[in-house]
Structure 1
Amino acid sequence: MTCNVGVDISKAKLDVAWLKADGKYRSKVFPNNAAGFSELLQWLDANLPDGHAAAHVCMEATGTYHEGLAFFLHDHAVAVSVVNPLTVKRFMELDRVRNKTDDGDAKALARFCDKTAPDLWEAPSPGVRSLQALVARLDTLLELRQGELNRLEVAHGSVKPSLIAIIASLGEAIEQVRMQIRKTIDDDPDLRQRNELLATIPGLGDRTIPQLLAYIGRPERFTSVKALSAYASLTPMIRQSGSSLDKRRGTHPQGHRELKKALYFPAMVAGRYNPVVAEFWQRLKAQNKPGKLIVVACMHKLLSIAFGVLRSGKPFDPNHGKKARA
């Protein structure tokens, strides 16, 4: 028998609620760290009829806070679902939940798991996990170096030697991480193959391709390009009702913001050098679409091309769509 367990995750703690067969709950709070993960696993073994093997744990995607627990449970053969917070919010509204507490949210997640049987979370491979960590580290180092470069422009002469030394040190660290990224991709046959496929797409370069490999992971986990676009928060946010409400607020805030950010400059480059994206760009421009809308649309187009190349296993072909229409 499957035991539905909801976990509300914050930076410091895990509020856990098991929905029992009689409709009542058993709850407990654990620290959100390695020791807490082990305590949670022991608690599942001690309380669930068939131990942790019977558990279906449901949690919301909460930035990076949920990742440690999700990886831990997956590695210990516990069924895990990581769900969109907006979906759970809508469920709680339909369930007429009036008060918001961490314990209440954990119980709502357990009910959500019981009623909807959400898809199981697919953990990235060890190679992708390493790549995700390295890509995040590279972004941090680049931001730190840019900050020091900005400070160097206005710095007093007495502190310039210190800034120059730090910038040089950061430059060495950046190059080292870039070498680790290349090695991680080269050492993993699957990542290496996907890297070679993405490299055939004009507009994608050495910076963006590792980001796409890290953020997308295995492309088969997305059922369609629409699902990937939603994951990348590239779907439009529209609020429309009757004649009094008609608002379009750009892209939806829910989703993987880093993936969306990674596509911005490549889409602008692709708008010049990728024949498919460039044609699309000019068509939108001829329709007098705003510049920002054109860039976002081309980000979506570039992501769609990348998804198609990865799913098909075939290099980029600028005439693919034309052949299909012929």
Structure 2
Amino acid sequence: MFYLGIDVAKAKLDCCLLLDEASDKHKTKVVKNTPSGIIDLLAWVAKQNVSPEALHIVMEATGVYHEQAAMALADAGVMVSIINPAQIKDFGRGLAVRTKTDGVDSVVLARYGALLKPKAWVPPPQEARVLQALLVRREAIAQDLQRERNRQEKAHATDTPALIHKSLEESIGFLVKQLAQLQKDIDAHIDQHSNLQKDRALLQSIPVIGPQVGSNILSVIHNHDFGSAEQLAAYLGLVPVERQSGSSVQRLLARGKSKMSSLGAAMRKLVYLCFGVLKTQQPYQHDYLKNV
């Protein structure tokens, strides 16, 4: 197996192909972060006498910029692993790597793959990708709508020309229609796929989970491979990190940390319930403990 590290940026992919694990012999290549760039990368790898089946690519999860490359490479039959950037940073420290450049990062990623042999990333199914895209769009429209309403509120509080009021009203009306249509599209998409429809119904069997929260949790779980409820909670940023150095404890208590801790615990419990109903494919039972 040959290991190739890819440092992902918006416009380019810095690649390092590790040719010999023992000697650290490697070759590097920079390609565009586009479909044609992926074709160029695979052609370059082939020139090194490495077939797609013998290639293991390791890249960081870099916002949305890694997704297109990861999908294209997986579709080409290449084993792809997507790693949390924090893990790569710690690994680089362990190798005493102090320089931070795209080229160096790709070398570290290749060596990470060779040494730790991370598990393969499983691309989400098409229906999950479409759901995620629809939800991202809905969120963007909702934010635009809120901004326009804020502008309208300020316009009513100031001496604003009538033409501006008219423009704001038209813009808000358009965005409200867009938001309603997107919600219809989301519901229709879920209804068209029995697995999504069934899982959203299971999520909504939990009393506090409504259609919108249910759709968002549904998308997160169907677009990622979580092995446990704790992994899901960590992804959502709900796993606490204990810090008790210096005067930090006093400051946290002064800011009402106990209340926040309680809220965090409740949110983690809810995430565990969501993971549980989908894992067992059984609806929520409020009297579960009484029946045990």
TM-score by length of 1: 0.82
- The answer as to 2:222 corresponding to 1:206 is no
Match of 1:231 among 235, 243, 250: 235
**Equivalent residue number for residue 36 of structure 2:** 35
Residues 321, 29 of structure 1: alpha-carbon distance in 2 compared, 3 angstrom cutoff: farther
Question: Given that residues 238 and 246 in structure 1 are in contact (C-alpha distance below 8 angstroms), is that contact kept between their aligned partners in structure 2?
Answer: no
Q: Which amino acid aligns with 2:7?
A: D
SS at match of 2:109: helix
Match of 2:184 among 167, 179, 187: 179
**Equivalent residue number for residue 302 of structure 1:** 270
Question: Given that residues 129 and 223 in structure 2 are in contact (C-alpha distance below 8 angstroms), is that contact kept between their aligned partners in structure 1?
Answer: no
SS at match of 2:56: strand
- The answer as to 2:27 corresponding to 1:26 is yes
Q: 1:60-75 alignment to 2 at 5 Å?
A: 60-75=60-75
SS at match of 2:202: helix
SS at match of 2:24: coil
CA RMSD of aligned residues (A): 2.0
SS at match of 1:159: helix
Q: 1:60-209 alignment to 2 at 5 Å?
A: 60-155=60-155, 156=160, 157-209=162-214
Question: Given that residues 13 and 32 in structure 1 are in contact (C-alpha distance below 8 angstroms), is that contact kept between their aligned partners in structure 2?
Answer: yes
Alpha-carbon distance between aligned partners in 2 of 1:289 and 1:34, rounded to the nearest angstrom:
47
SS at match of 2:139: helix
Residues 249, 41 of structure 1: alpha-carbon distance in 2 compared, 3 angstrom cutoff: farther
Q: Deviations over 1:222-259 (max 9, x none)?
A: 22211211122211122456xx5866999xxxxxxxxx
SS at match of 2:16: strand
Query: Which stretch shifts more, 304-313 or 209-218?
Result: 209-218
Q: Deviations over 1:14-55 (max 9, x none)?
A: 1000111242111011111222122112222222x3422211
Alpha-carbon distance between aligned partners in 2 of 1:310 and 1:319, rounded to the nearest angstrom:
18
Residues 206, 249 of structure 1: alpha-carbon distance in 2 compared, 3 angstrom cutoff: farther
Alpha-carbon distance between aligned partners in 2 of 1:34 and 1:162, rounded to the nearest angstrom:
40
SS at match of 1:56: strand
SS at match of 1:64: coil
Deviation at 1:123, TM superposition (A): 0.9
Question: Given that residues 56 and 81 in structure 1 are in contact (C-alpha distance below 8 angstroms), is that contact kept between their aligned partners in structure 2?
Answer: yes
SS at match of 1:20: strand
**Equivalent residue number for residue 254 of structure 1:** none
Q: Which amino acid aligns with 1:57?
A: I
Q: Deviations over 1:242-282 (max 9, x none)?
A: xx5866999xxxxxxxxxxxxxxxxxxxxxxxxxxxxxxxx
Residues 159, 239 of structure 1: alpha-carbon distance in 2 compared, 3 angstrom cutoff: same
Alpha-carbon distance between aligned partners in 1 of 2:275 and 2:56, rounded to the nearest angstrom:
30
SS at match of 1:238: coil
Unpaired segments ≥5 residues, structure 1: 251-287
**Equivalent residue number for residue 9 of structure 2:** 10
SS at match of 2:163: coil
- Identity fraction in percent: 35
Alpha-carbon distance between aligned partners in 2 of 1:114 and 1:205, rounded to the nearest angstrom:
45
Q: Which amino acid aligns with 2:279?
A: R
Residues 200, 41 of structure 1: alpha-carbon distance in 2 compared, 3 angstrom cutoff: same
Question: Given that residues 239 and 248 in structure 1 are in contact (C-alpha distance below 8 angstroms), is that contact kept between their aligned partners in structure 2?
Answer: no
Residues 289, 8 of structure 1: alpha-carbon distance in 2 compared, 3 angstrom cutoff: closer
Deviation at 1:301, TM superposition (A): 0.7
Residues 31, 144 of structure 1: alpha-carbon distance in 2 compared, 3 angstrom cutoff: same
Alpha-carbon distance between aligned partners in 1 of 2:90 and 2:244, rounded to the nearest angstrom:
18
Match of 2:226 among 222, 243, 261: 222
Alpha-carbon distance between aligned partners in 2 of 1:168 and 1:85, rounded to the nearest angstrom:
42
SS at match of 1:86: helix
SS at match of 1:210: helix
Q: Deviations over 1:277-311 (max 9, x none)?
A: xxxxxxxxxxx973222222111111000000000
SS at match of 1:25: strand
Question: Given that residues 237 and 249 in structure 1 are in contact (C-alpha distance below 8 angstroms), is that contact kept between their aligned partners in structure 2?
Answer: no
Residues 290, 66 of structure 1: alpha-carbon distance in 2 compared, 3 angstrom cutoff: same
Residues 246, 159 of structure 1: alpha-carbon distance in 2 compared, 3 angstrom cutoff: closer
**Equivalent residue number for residue 292 of structure 1:** 260
